[in-house]
Structure 1
Amino acid sequence: MKQIRTVIVDDEGRIRRGIERMVRSLGEEWDIAGIFSDGLEVYEAVINQSISFDLLISDIRMPEMDGLTLNKKLKSHLSFLTIFISGYDDFEYLQTALRDGAVNYILKPIDKEQFQIQMYEVKRKIQKVQEEKQEWVIMQEKAAQLEYTKQVQLLGEMTWKEDKDIAFFDWTRQFPNGRYQLIHISIDQFFSQTKEFSPEEWNRWSQAIETILAETVEANMRIHQIHSWWWRGSTFSYWLLLHLEEEGEMDDFLELSRLFAEELRGTIQKITPFTASVAIGNEFKDLSLFSIMKNDLLTLLQFRIIQGGNRVFEVEMIEQLKAQKSKGISSAIQRSTEQVITSFMQGEKDDLLKALQVFFREVETLPSPVMINEVVHYLIIGIVGYWIENEGYNENPDLLTDALNSTKNAPNFVQLKDQVKLWILDVMDNMAGLKKEQHNPIQVAKEWIKNNLGDNISIKKIAQQVYMNPNYFCDYFKNQTGETILDYVTSARLEKAKELLEKTDLKIYDIALAVGYQDTKYFSRLFKQWLGKTPSQFREHYFKLAIDK
């Protein structure tokens, strides 16, 4: 059992010392948290020094602040039991004390045996309170662990899913508001090492890496009061989601992620026979962007093709790579590359196609596929770098992924040329779209949503209609409208569902499909959650009102 912290307050020194001796004689389970000569001293110690206690033994009448006032004022700050010391002529005071929650009172002069009996009763009550508190803490911990497990399961499911309809992001409501950052950890050259270890050895190393991850997360995040979730991805890859409260004042959120990533990478290299690469995404506030951020990190890890593994990759590195001149690239290829980028920047499609012809003629003379990949990647990085610099948005992860996949999967040089050319033309079209005047991007987005309620609506698709980066668009939409894009889409779909329930005899299943919900049970549950009635109840209520009129 925890020690019972006791505060003694009496304006007579002889009585204070006597009470102290009697409390200490009760055994080691009793602890004196403080001894005071007046109620005001105790109150100031609680307010200014944050002292806490389980039991207050106080005289009733004291000059600066009496015991009744002290007890009443402290009850708004602390939870404790009270025993009052009083004289025979304090009966009215004692009645007030008992009404204010005092455990009991002891009359002066204090009888030692009576005092011990009273304190035994107090100990029993305090022990019961402590046990109840402990049970509550255990229950809260179990509930928090269950909630955490559910959240990790949701995050794991979303890691495997591709770009989904926004309706699937209702799960984000189970997470707190605030600032988020996603990190992806992947073991390098896993497949090339599969023959070196037995299945038992692989299992041991897998457990070792998970232990390293768990301990590194625990050590770093607890210090900085950052909440985190981590889970397994594909074989020998892991994900970590960090969360900081909205009002958090930590400006170096990204810097903490960098330090954590470097520590984790170094520890894995030191303790295991593997190296690991870590990708760090941009900070975001809307968890509906999770899939986009996930794809962002998977794209970053493809830079292992260019730079090798055992590194920490960040979105900012694309701009830095763009400025680097590859030692393996000739001056002629550098010039042709710059000409392609210049034509791209000017938006001249004919000039761009001519520059690409020159570029690929130079590339075709290279002696190895490795050098061809390097040169094409150099061009791609230059294009993406201009996209970032000119428009001020983060790189489009899908465009970059498509380009890197072109070089990785193209079966021959002719197809490689075609795929790279199509990718660059696609980026140019997007650039042209970005430069168009948008009279009201919010209105454009809303109109598109209303016209596509029954289709697969994703944040990426909506953002594409107004030529905005998805992360930027989510913040912009909420700042302009006061609601999240998820809430708006849900509201628009349910309003349309109400209209169909009122004006048609379509079945609930057909209405659900018409407004974008494949799962009728989920649609009905969401409808009731938002509107207070199930679709069937809503339709029945509507027609009843119509008949009554």
Structure 2
Amino acid sequence: MTQIRTIIVDDEGRIRRGIERMVRSLGEEWEIAGTFSDGLEVYEAVVNESISFDLLISDIKMPEMDGLTLNKKLKEHLSFLTIFISGYDDFEYLQTAMRDGAVNYILKPIDKEQFHVQMDEVKQKIQTVQEEKQEWITMQEKASQLEYTKQLQRLSEMTWNEEKDILYLDWTREFPNGCYQLIHMSVDQIYSKTKEYLPEDWNNWSQKIEHLLEELVEADIRDQQIDCWWWRGSKFSYWLLLHFEDKYDKDEISLKTGQFAQHIGVSIQKLTPFTASVALGHKFNDLALFSNMKNELLTLLQFRMIQGGNRVFQAESFHDIKIQKSKGISSSILKYTEQVITSFAQGKKAELLQALQGFFREVETLSSPIMINEAVHYLLIGIANYWIENDGYSEDPELLTNALSFTKHAANFIQLKDQVKIWILHVMEKMTRLKKEQQNPIQVAKEWIKDNLGDNISIKKIAQQVYMNPNYFCDYFKNQTGETILDYVTSARLEKAKELLENTDLKIYDISLSVGYQDTKYFSRLFKQWIGQTPSQFRDHFAKTLTK
């Protein structure tokens, strides 16, 4: 039963107490929120103490602040119904009261039966308002939940899918502006414990971890009014995207997310037979960089092969992560690994290939696939570590991610050797390119975009042309040109479309494809949004201007 909160105001104590008794006699659904002897006293209480109510019963004439003034001033802060109490000589006041939104008035002396009738009418009006308000709240909650579900689907798609054309970045407009941070959590011992548990055990652990995550997100994140989306990745791995308002500074964000990550690891270890590692990404202000941040976290988690699991890996301290020597790797393999890395650092290709040949000669003698995997990963991470120490991480943070899958996907040892050699030589070439200065990266990027309008264009691909980190390139492009990279690509594509509409007889569908839009309806809608006409209207208008 919804309570109807009522405030009573009258400067005559006897009348005030009488009204209070009559209200209480109406039933349990009526609640007295306060009784006051003057309008000013009520106003100060509402403003200073945040008192809320549904009905105001007030005398019209009072010494400090009359009822009409009180009603008008309170309406600036709250929504409520009003009944005025007046004498027979207050007709002009009553006219003003009804204009100011009073639902009714009661004449003195108050008749109990009349009072009951009027209060019953008021109760129905208030209950109708409350029902409408509750319906609105319910509708808003459903709409919010639907929007949240839609956002989760978008994020999940971006986690699974490979790099997409820049036009797909429209999904970022569905999210609020502000600072974001991506978190990736993965249970450490999934493969080593596969034989120890039945399928139903795994399902049970999975449900427990998901319930735990929901509880931690609610308690540690949402209770602090921080937006959070979390979803499942691959088996026993999860993603969380946090959104911070401007009131949080970067140090405060780092503290909160660091504590949250530690809490996740400790809680999973207590609840399950497993430990978990958590990767914390850099803070970023543009969701167009989501894929880059995702790859950054996948790279961070790969370092648990060297550092061990049950850890929190933070992108801010990525340069401090040192590669530890494995006790399972033989001294001869370690020797060749050091020779490869030294040759790589000195840029001596011939010596590198010779050392790499010795490395694989030793690795090929290993009898265990696990040992081969460990030795190759040790070499790859050694190369990546040198790349990091020389600021290569800022250029290509996901460089190591694909390389670490070589041992998993190679069909044979020869293929594995070729993949590793090609990758190391590729990194060496990138290292050389890093040393060359780009005279005009914006112009290079624009020219590349114009040459590839019909292809899949992504921020990563554009940034690679000027040897910049995608995150830094987005900010650099906006600062130098005054527009976002997404807007520039869209503008360039539509300008090319206008040129084709004016100078060729190509169909709208073919023009759409030639400038990178697979969906003709989307292309037409975007064209009208930017140009003010549909492609067909633009072509017709241009044709008419030629005949004049």
TM-score, with structure 1 as normaliser: 0.88
Whether the 8 Å contact between 2:333 and 2:362 is mirrored in structure 1 is no
What amino acid sits opposite 1:35 in the alignment?
T
Whether the 8 Å contact between 2:337 and 2:359 is mirrored in structure 1 is no
CA distance in 1, matches of 2:301, 2:171: 27
Choose the corresponding residue for 2:347, options 337, 340, 349: 349
Whether the 8 Å contact between 1:39 and 1:65 is mirrored in structure 2 is yes
CA distance in 2, matches of 1:317, 1:324: 16
Which residue does the alignment assign to 2:505?
505
Whether the 8 Å contact between 1:177 and 1:246 is mirrored in structure 2 is no
CA distance in 2, matches of 1:285, 1:424: 33
CA distance in 2, matches of 1:449, 1:395: 19
What amino acid sits opposite 2:6 in the alignment?
T
After superposition, the C-alpha distances for 1:329-370 in whole angstroms (9 at most, x for unaligned) are 89998898778667656xx523x6536745875786688577
What amino acid sits opposite 1:130 in the alignment?
Q
What amino acid sits opposite 2:160 in the alignment?
W
Query: Kindly tell me: are residues 61 and 254 of structure 1, through their superposed partners in 2, closer, same or farther at Cα, counting changes over 3 Å?
Result: same
Whether the 8 Å contact between 1:60 and 1:66 is mirrored in structure 2 is yes
Whether the 8 Å contact between 2:392 and 2:431 is mirrored in structure 1 is no
Q: CA deviation at 1:6?
A: 1.6
SS of the aligned residue for 1:397 comes to coil
Which residue does the alignment assign to 1:294?
294
CA distance in 2, matches of 1:337, 1:317: 25
What amino acid sits opposite 1:125 in the alignment?
K
Whether the 8 Å contact between 1:81 and 1:102 is mirrored in structure 2 is yes
CA distance in 2, matches of 1:381, 1:411: 22
Whether the 8 Å contact between 1:394 and 1:469 is mirrored in structure 2 is yes
Which residue does the alignment assign to 1:6?
6
What amino acid sits opposite 2:171 in the alignment?
W
Which residue does the alignment assign to 2:204?
204
Whether the 8 Å contact between 1:402 and 1:423 is mirrored in structure 2 is no
CA distance in 1, matches of 2:484, 2:111: 68
Q: CA deviation at 1:239?
A: 2.1
SS of the aligned residue for 1:282 comes to strand
What amino acid sits opposite 1:349 in the alignment?
G
- Gapped runs of 5+ residues in structure 2? none
After superposition, the C-alpha distances for 1:121-141 in whole angstroms (9 at most, x for unaligned) are 111111110000001111111
Query: Kindly tell me: are residues 435 and 7 of structure 1, through their superposed partners in 2, closer, same or farther at Cα, counting changes over 3 Å?
Result: farther
Higher mean alpha-carbon deviation, 128-137 vs 272-281, is at: 272-281
CA distance in 1, matches of 2:317, 2:338: 20
CA distance in 2, matches of 1:392, 1:196: 41
What amino acid sits opposite 2:543 in the alignment?
F
Query: Kindly tell me: are residues 232 and 2 of structure 1, through their superposed partners in 2, closer, same or farther at Cα, counting changes over 3 Å?
Result: same
After superposition, the C-alpha distances for 1:241-285 in whole angstroms (9 at most, x for unaligned) are 222234544643233333333333333333334443333222222
Which residue does the alignment assign to 1:523?
523
CA distance in 2, matches of 1:133, 1:125: 12
- Equivalent runs, 1:64-463 vs 2, <5 Å: 64-249=64-249, 251-316=251-316, 318-322=318-322, 348-350=346-348, 353-354=350-351, 357=354, 361=358, 377=377, 380-381=380-381, 383-391=383-391, 394=394, 396-406=396-406, 419-463=419-463
What amino acid sits opposite 2:114 in the alignment?
Q
CA distance in 1, matches of 2:71, 2:94: 13
Query: Kindly tell me: are residues 247 and 356 of structure 1, through their superposed partners in 2, closer, same or farther at Cα, counting changes over 3 Å?
Result: farther
Query: Kindly tell me: are residues 495 and 71 of structure 1, through their superposed partners in 2, closer, same or farther at Cα, counting changes over 3 Å?
Result: farther
Whether the 8 Å contact between 1:181 and 1:282 is mirrored in structure 2 is yes
SS of the aligned residue for 2:53 comes to coil
CA distance in 2, matches of 1:364, 1:320: 32
What amino acid sits opposite 1:88 in the alignment?
Y
Higher mean alpha-carbon deviation, 216-225 vs 417-426, is at: 417-426
Percent of residue pairs bearing the same amino acid type: 74
TM-score, with structure 2 as normaliser: 0.88
CA distance in 2, matches of 1:313, 1:442: 34
What amino acid sits opposite 1:293 in the alignment?
M
Q: CA deviation at 1:143?
A: 1.1
CA distance in 2, matches of 1:202, 1:388: 37
After superposition, the C-alpha distances for 1:284-308 in whole angstroms (9 at most, x for unaligned) are 2222222222222222232233334
Query: Kindly tell me: are residues 508 and 109 of structure 1, through their superposed partners in 2, closer, same or farther at Cα, counting changes over 3 Å?
Result: same
CA distance in 1, matches of 2:350, 2:14: 100
- Does residue 1:472 correspond to 2:472, yes or no? yes
Q: Matched residue pairs, number?
A: 545
What amino acid sits opposite 1:400 in the alignment?
L
SS of the aligned residue for 1:445 comes to helix
CA distance in 2, matches of 1:420, 1:209: 37
Q: CA deviation at 1:459?
A: 0.7
Q: CA deviation at 1:223?
A: 1.7
CA distance in 2, matches of 1:303, 1:293: 16
SS of the aligned residue for 1:231 comes to strand
Which residue does the alignment assign to 1:62?
62
CA distance in 1, matches of 2:494, 2:509: 14
Q: CA deviation at 1:383?
A: 4.7
Which residue does the alignment assign to 1:535?
535
Whether the 8 Å contact between 1:228 and 1:240 is mirrored in structure 2 is yes
Whether the 8 Å contact between 1:318 and 1:381 is mirrored in structure 2 is no
SS of the aligned residue for 2:186 comes to strand
CA distance in 2, matches of 1:358, 1:166: 42
Q: CA deviation at 1:232?
A: 2.4
Q: CA deviation at 1:532?
A: 4.2
SS of the aligned residue for 1:15 comes to helix
SS of the aligned residue for 1:516 comes to coil
Q: CA deviation at 1:512?
A: 0.9
What amino acid sits opposite 2:305 in the alignment?
I
RMSD: 3.2
SS of the aligned residue for 1:105 comes to strand
What amino acid sits opposite 1:494 in the alignment?
L
CA distance in 2, matches of 1:484, 1:22: 66
Query: Kindly tell me: are residues 384 and 395 of structure 1, through their superposed partners in 2, closer, same or farther at Cα, counting changes over 3 Å?
Result: farther
CA distance in 2, matches of 1:31, 1:491: 62
Higher mean alpha-carbon deviation, 253-262 vs 156-165, is at: 253-262
Which residue does the alignment assign to 1:491?
491
Whether the 8 Å contact between 1:399 and 1:423 is mirrored in structure 2 is no
What amino acid sits opposite 2:299 in the alignment?
T
Whether the 8 Å contact between 1:306 and 1:374 is mirrored in structure 2 is no
Higher mean alpha-carbon deviation, 503-512 vs 479-488, is at: 479-488
- Gapped runs of 5+ residues in structure 1? none
What amino acid sits opposite 1:71 in the alignment?
N
CA distance in 2, matches of 1:469, 1:80: 57
SS of the aligned residue for 1:243 comes to strand
Q: CA deviation at 1:451?
A: 2.2
